[in-house]
Structure formats: structure tokens, C-alpha cells
Amino acid sequence: PKPPPPTHFLCIPLITPTSRPQLLQTLGAFRADIASPLSSFGGVPEDAIRPLGTLHLTLGIMSFPRNNNEGLDRAVGLLRSLRPREMLADVEEEGEGNSGSDLVITLQGLESMQAPAKAAVLYASPTDRLGTLQAFCERLRLAFREAELIVEESRPLLLHATILNTIYVKGGGGKKGGGGAGGKKKRERLTIDARGILDRYEDQVWMEGVKMEKIAICKMGAKKVEVNGVVEDEVYEVEAEIEF
């Protein structure tokens, strides 16, 4: 049977008062560099570059029936019962972290989910020399896995912030699900040759020293934020969040 469509996700939002000005500058420069028609990269479609407000680290995908809130209510209840600082202290006791500290996130570098010559998703990873952030996020995810609230994945948790995704390019292929009669004629997903972009941005620091502030359950599908009729940003609707 086909797996049910994802409806929500557990995440660490990356937009805070500290990160916003940094990301406005770094993502703005990235957009100007790669999306310009005069760019040496041949003008990557601007729609592929993710809006600032969407940046987050996904910890798990959830799939709840649309006509029944029971699963979502359980997930929200579990989130609100968590004691993230205690979880972090446990992780730090087991590792080499400094007890009682904040979790500070720096996003650096650029990598591709696919072969770089045929890339569809480019992402930045948090620097995590001691592995504290990874261990903390795995502990968080485990709580939801044990409650059977997140979709089981065979892949290990890859903490990443999506910077570019060609699925959002209008008319560029990549509509999820089959189009046309009987789901045939699925368009090929748009890919780009990202080798030059990855080389140029391999050491890029997107944001630095940003304290983790919240853990959230968000609804799939970012909503446009309009100011005076102009789309200024996109954000995911938050179902529930807790302070770190």
C-alpha cells in the first residue's frame, strides 16, 4: 500500500532575532550570485532558492489522517511534556559537552543530496564538532519514535537546512505524484549542475553562534507572507512549539 502523505514535521526552527540579519545577508548574496541571468552558473531559477522563513532542521516526518486529530493531539501533548534542557544535560554527561550550556548552531558549507552534476536539493549542515547537537536531536526524535508518532525511516538522521530545492520551480518538472490520466507522464524533476556552486560555497558560513530557541511541530507546505500585496517571505504554520 502507498504510504500516507506527510502532514507535519518535528523540527528546530532556525529563524531567530540573532539569525535573521545574518541569513538575510548571506542568503541574499547567494540568491544574487546564482540566480542572476549574468551568473557564471547560468542563472539558477530563483524559485529553487528557499525563502528565509522556511529554514529549519527536520527531526522527523509525521503523517496524520486529515479527518482525525488524535495523532496530532498526542504529538503536541508529547512535545509539551518534554524537558529539553534536562535531555541536553543527559546528552552532555554522556559526551564531552559543557553541562548547562545553550545549544548554539552555526550553519556552514553546502552539499548536494544527489550527484552534484544532477542536483535537485542543496543543503547546509550545522557544525557539531562534539556531536552534542546530533545526540540531542536523536534523543528528541527517539521520544516521538517510541510513541509511534513519526514515520519510520531507515536512513540515519541527517541534520540539514535546505538552501535550494528544484521541486519549487514552477513548470520545471517535479510535481509530486503522477500527472495526467492514471498518474502516468510523471515529469522529470528539474536538476542543475551544481559543481561550481558547491566549490564556491563549500566553506560558506550562513549563520554563526545562534542559540537554539524552540522546538516545533509544523504543518507541511509553507505559506506565503504578503506585505502590501507583495510576497516577502514564506513560513511554515506552527501547530505547537516549546521554548528550549
Model pLDDT for residues 48-104, shown as the tens digit of each residue: 999 999 999 999 999 998 888 889 999 999 999 999 999 999 888 876 656 557 899
> What three-state secondary structure class fits 96?
coil
Region 206-233: mean pLDDT is 94
Q: What is the CATH number of the domain that holds 111?
A: 3.90.1140.10
Q: Tell me whether residue 168 is in a domain.
A: yes
Report the largest interatomic distance among the alpha carbons of the chain, rounded to a whole angstrom: 58
| HSE toward the beta carbon, residue 227, CA cutoff 13 A | 3
Q: Tell me whether residue 2 is in a domain.
A: no
pLDDT at 172: 62
What sign does the dihedral 14-162-69-76 (CA atoms) show?
negative
At residue 178 the predicted structure's pLDDT band, cuts being 50, 70 and 90, is very low
Q: Could you list the residue range(s) of the whole structural domain that residue 65 is in? A: 8-176+183-243
Q: Tell me whether residue 200 is in a domain.
A: yes
> Which cell goes with 115?
550527484
pLDDT at 30: 96
Q: Tell me whether residue 12 is in a domain.
A: yes
| Whole-number Å distance between alpha carbons of 191 and 172 | 9
- Structural domains of the chain, count: 1
Region 127-135: mean pLDDT is 93
Residue 217 has pLDDT above 80, yes or no: yes
> Which cell goes with 216?
516545533
SS3 content of the chain, % helix, strand, coil (to 5): 30, 25, 40
Q: Tell me whether residue 1 is in a domain.
A: no
